[in-house]
Structure 1
Amino acid sequence: MSKPMRRMPTARAMITAAQPEAAHAGAEILRAGGSAVDAVIAAALVQGVVDPLMCGIGGFGSLHVYDPSTGDHFVLDGQGGCPAVARDDMWADRIAGQTRDGFGFIIEGFENECGHSSVCVPGIVAVLAKAHERLGRLPWGELFRSAISRSEEGWIVRPHNVMVFTQNERQYGRMNYGEKLGVTEDGRRIYLDRDGAYRKLGDTIRNPDLAETLRELAHGGDETFYRGDISRRIVADMEENGGLLSASDLSSFEPEIQTPLSIHYRGTTFTSNQPPGGGAMVAEMLRILERFDLVGLEHNSAEYIRVVSEVMRIATRDKDEHISDPRFIDPQLDRLLSDRYADACAQKIRRGERTSVPRLASGQPRGTTHVSCVDANGMVASLTHSLGVPSGVIVPGTGFMLNGAMSVFDPRPGQPGSFAPGKRRFSSMCPSILFQDGRPVMTLGAPGGTWISLAVLQVIINVLDWGMGIQEAISAPRFVATGDMLDISNRISTDVQREIEAMGYTVKRSPLSYAFAGVHGISMFDGELEGGADPQRDGMAIGVA
């Protein structure tokens, strides 16, 4: 007689994150009675410890929150923008190219992506503090315990860390992320062996300096980061090393509170962040795809990939031309999200017309991270945060790395993405919440540079069009088209690849089975929580009974 299966208790709350340490930290907060916002904050702080080249308190982010008890629904945009001294022609005479996927420009000497001149205003701490002020339940200081503990006791180098440390970005014209670990003396001391080698799988990394910084933040709040002792240390390091960031840039920063962008797709309401975030790209793609009977095509067939990839190219081209900081550039969302425009785009695709998205050069970043949470009261919080690319700059004695987000601005004067004082960069980050009949049914987001919006799109249509569960939808093979090249996962068949190439497309096969951003999400259909974590990352989903 077989032993009966033991059923897990039904989850009343859930969190999913790209790192197990972060997921566990958030779950602990949920068990202690914290809100979804509390849990996301605790997880995000841990992410900055255990994924130091992807995110941290020196970075930026976008937090999307819905609270059914009050109807409160907002996005906090934490992109700090260019320092006030930035000029649109500051590196115009040193442009070496652009990445193939459109995530960043290459400047001779790497000043826009490495070192003190590459740093934009870090906005993530203000986002977390503002969110806690509005919807936190537990004391601010309690949310730092796991991150402080991980910093002091150490964390184990995971497979994803090793990939980030060792991946070859030089072949695309960009510095290797691992090279950023050795830019400062503190970086070499914390992250490299005595012989200068990268830490290996299973090694333990301790960062007591970061633990002290987090204690200061836990006690002093965001005030100390933007106007207190931490800000003074950042500014002193900038002044000593020719950085652009000033005390005024830090002290004047406030996150933008946005009304979420919203569109309808097959009876579901998709909501996400406004420009300069990536929600507009996902919304535009859904509007066009609603004109097609996707289920009438075989999933990931050649024709399916042709249709969806052409939609990706249209949205990418429109993003390049229109989506930037709306305080500087009109994003033209009324036109891009209109029925008339979606109809016209769909007709072009049906006629076999192709959209070209030329690039100056090639490359493919893997930065950023994500965490989503639903608490027992139904509050939903979804956060994507990042360093953009890591600058390599660790302010002496603080233990955290600053962002290198200047690399994504266009160094050509007069472009939508050109440098300007206070201007925010376009970001593909799109923490999203989907509703049916006024109730949330799914939340998701991803790390992965310009692949983020394209990966989130595919998970959404996998769930809504193909009826997949959230984990199946995330694990299904993906493809991306952010330029004239079409990139496909290694799990898409070679027969399909040959059919696409016979249509005249240039296809590049990824050696990875799971590729193109790392989606994490939670579905809530019929009140049942199901979590999904992308297999290419080391993360997990945890349900709390």
Structure 2
Amino acid sequence: MANTGGAIVAPQPRAVEEGIAVLRGGGNAVDAAVATAFMQAVVDPQMCGVGGMGTMLIWPAGAPGPRELHFYGRAGSKVTPAMWVDRVRGRTRWWRRFALEGYLNDIGYSSIMTPATVAGLYHAHREYGRLRWLEVLAPAVAAAEEGFRVTSGVAGFWSREPRESGEVDTRARLHASPEAARIYFKPDDSMYKEGEVVKNPDHARSLRVIAEEGPEAFYHGAIARAMAEDLERNGAFITAQDLATYRVRTAAPLQSTYRGYSLYSNVPPGGGITVLQILSILEGYDVAALDPLSSEHALLLARAMQAAFCDRDRWVGDPEFVDVPAADLLSKDHATAWRVHLDAGRPVEFPAWGAGDGSGTTHVTVVDAEGTIVSLTHTLGSSSGVITPGLGFMYNNSMYQANPFPQSPNSIAPGKARTSGMCPTIVARDGKPVAALGAPGGNAIITGVLQALVNVLDHGMTATEAVSAPRIHCEGEAVDLEGRFFRSTVRALEAQGLQAHWSPVALDGAFARVQLIAIDPATGRLDLGPDPRGEGGCGRA
């Protein structure tokens, strides 16, 4: 059927439902994305929220291309570059996080960067929205007042065991502050179970103030004062001045080409540059001739991922603090040089300071009836476990994504954003959008989005097929594979010198949860692809 009213995909069906209602009520894609994002903060409160940050692409109907809006958290003015050098105790393999003594960068007040989501979503709505701000936030306020039902996805996150030594388990994370423990645990200190309802009236009150007063209350008013006092009292690096001076950044997104398609993704410190670079390397190979489940296909993707992640570790950081040679990294000559290197069988040598990431993120992709497109990724990192008494929302923990050693592109500095795997992406052909996508999933966002694009553009898969196919992830010496790959593929990769880690999980959310809408430019038909690794939220207006 042809598109007549637009569509939304996101991991949370409850949030999609409210976004669809906004589209049906006369809102455009930006209104719907903002409404969905605030609802995601209510029903999936450790993945995202007003204490977090994000990045988005908006392609207004009829415009020649998309615009980018990014609202990353920034290190507080009290940080110093070498403050944690003596606290480093190791590094995790999967997320490549720096593990610090006492988890100082991962949980608690010292892990928090400036909350940015309210500023970012308000900016997007002010510039591109159609409905009133209060009207767009009303569903989230109402849902917060009612309480949210614990879904299988939320319950799974709460009960998840650490993948390896150096990770914090969720129970400890949610005990990082007395207020978080009070809200998310029962009086007997047991966790809420799937199907039970969690009440958080403080969150509802904060959302109502934001709906009625906008970001002024959050960055300058009553909420700002409560945040600043609590953060100061508990040794956080964020100050009242950091909140008051926070600003959203806008940019022309990065652009590249792949087999006749134009691709747009976010600028550094986001992950878009790495997605586009991997595709440029792959463009020199006949990917379509390979079986997507074969060891040859997996090896080719893994080597291209290694090359691009090596460059990311070596060069990519906040461009307001470091010179990121984006044009050089995305050049076709650079891709050719990497292919020569890989084809010669030479190893990829990674710098010691590579950029880590985490799992607590979400995404929403929206296309409206007029053709406006939004791809929005927002996050709490993995969440700090900190809630200011009376406010109800959790803060991000994005300091764990900064490098505790000075002199790397991703090192710590006051006001500096950290690298991120978030990479909202839009694809066009002959000036017309044909796909929009993004994902939660840490650095696996990059490889998940990459593989969904390869599945559509090289293998001709539908949106559902593209996001459902088995995935690999490789950002260092090791390659991880989902459980649906054959054992022979795992052994073939090991024979090529790769450390292969074979997940026992068939649809493993650690490999990202891609949210894709493919668009037929001739008919306007929308093909929806919610990743089955999430809870499969999708709907048409």
Whether 2:517 is the aligned partner of 1:522: answer yes
TM-score by length of 2: 0.96
In the other structure, the counterpart of 1:378 is 371
User: Does 1:118 pair with 2:118?
Assistant: no
Check the 8 A contact 1:514/1:535 in 2, yes or no: yes
- 2:306 is aligned to 313
2:288, 2:529 → 1: CA distance?
A: 23
Contact 1:100–1:359 (8 Å) recurs in 2: no
Contact 1:359 1:483 in 2 (8 A): no
Matched, 1:339 2:332: yes
2:415 alignment counterpart: 422
Residue among 276, 286, 305 paired with 2:279: 286
Question: Which residue is 2:81 aligned to?
Answer: 88
Matches within 5 A, 1:14-93: 14-71=7-64, 73-93=66-86
Residue 177 of structure 1 and its aligned partner are, at CA, apart by 2.5
Please state how far the C-alpha of 1:347 moved relative to its aligned partner: 1.7
2:252 equivalent in structure 1:
259
Letter of the structure 2 residue corresponding to residue 520 of structure 1: Q
Amino acid at match of 1:389: S
CA distance in 2, matches of 1:536, 1:353: 35
1:352 Cα offset (Å): 2.4
Cα distance in 2 for partners of 1:463, 1:473 equals: 6
User: Which stretch shows the higher mean deviation, 377-386 or 161-170?
Assistant: 161-170
Pair 1:268-2:238 in alignment: no
Is the Cα–Cα contact under 8 Å of residues 99 and 362 in structure 1 kept in the other structure?
Answer: no
- Relative to structure 2, which stretch is displaced further, 421-430 or 490-499? 490-499
Identity %: 39
Structure 2 gaps of 5+ residues are: none
For 2:268, what is the secondary structure of its paired residue?
A: coil
CA distance in 2, matches of 1:206, 1:301: 48
* Residue of 517, 535, 539 corresponding to 1:538: 535
Q: What do the CA deviations read for 1:432-484 (whole angstroms, capped 9, x no partner)?
A: 11111111110000000011011000000100000001111000000010121
Work out the number of aligned pairs and report it.
537
| Residue 325 of structure 1 pairs with residue 318 of structure 2 | yes
State the distance in 2 between where 1:458 and 1:379 align: 25
The structure-2 alpha-carbon separation of the partners of 1:134 and 1:71, relative to structure 1 and needing over 3 Å to count, comes to farther
Alpha-carbon separation, structure 2, partners of 1:363 and 1:416: 12
Give distance in 1, aligned partners of 2:403 and 2:257.
Answer: 32
Q: Check conservation: 1:444, 1:519, Cα contact below 8 A.
A: yes
Tell me by how many angstroms 1:354 deviates. 2.8
Distance in 1, matches of 2:268 and 2:355, equals: 25
Pairing of 1:87-166 with structure 2 (within 5 A): 87-166=80-159
Which of 380, 387, 398 is the matching residue for 1:394?
Answer: 387
Counterpart contact for 2:314–2:354, Cα < 8 Å: no
Q: TM-score, normalised by structure 1?
A: 0.96
TM-fit CA distance, 1:158: 1.3
Superposed CA offset, 1:357-406 (max 9, x none): 47689998421000010011100011100011211110111110000101
SS, match of residue 381 in structure 2: coil
Q: Note if contact 2:47-2:380 (Cα within 8 Å) is conserved in structure 1.
A: yes
Classify 1:26/1:89 alpha carbon distance in 2 versus 1 (closer, same or farther; 3 Å).
Answer: same
Query: Tell me, which stretches of 5 or more residues in structure 1 are unaligned?
Result: 1-7
Aligned twin of 1:167: 160
User: Which amino acid is the alignment partner of residue 501 of structure 1?
Assistant: E
1:323-351 per-residue CA deviation (whole Å, 9 max, x = no partner) reads: 10011111111221112111111122222
Matched-pair contact (CA < 8 Å) for 1:262–1:271: yes
Match of 1:5 in 2: none
**How far, CA to CA, are the matches of 2:343 and 2:61 in structure 1?**
41
What RMSD over aligned residues (CA atoms) do the two structures have, in Å? 1.7
Equivalent residues of 1:208, 1:399 under 8 A apart: yes
Q: What is the alpha-carbon distance in structure 2 between the residues aligned to residue 101 and residue 256 of structure 1?
A: 30
Q: CA deviation at 1:175?
A: 1.2
Shift in Å, 1:356 = 4.0
Write the letter of the residue equivalent to 1:276.
P
Q: Secondary structure at the match of 1:449?
A: coil
Residue 71 of structure 1, CA deviation: 4.3
Q: Distance in 1 between matches of 2:506 and 2:352?
A: 26
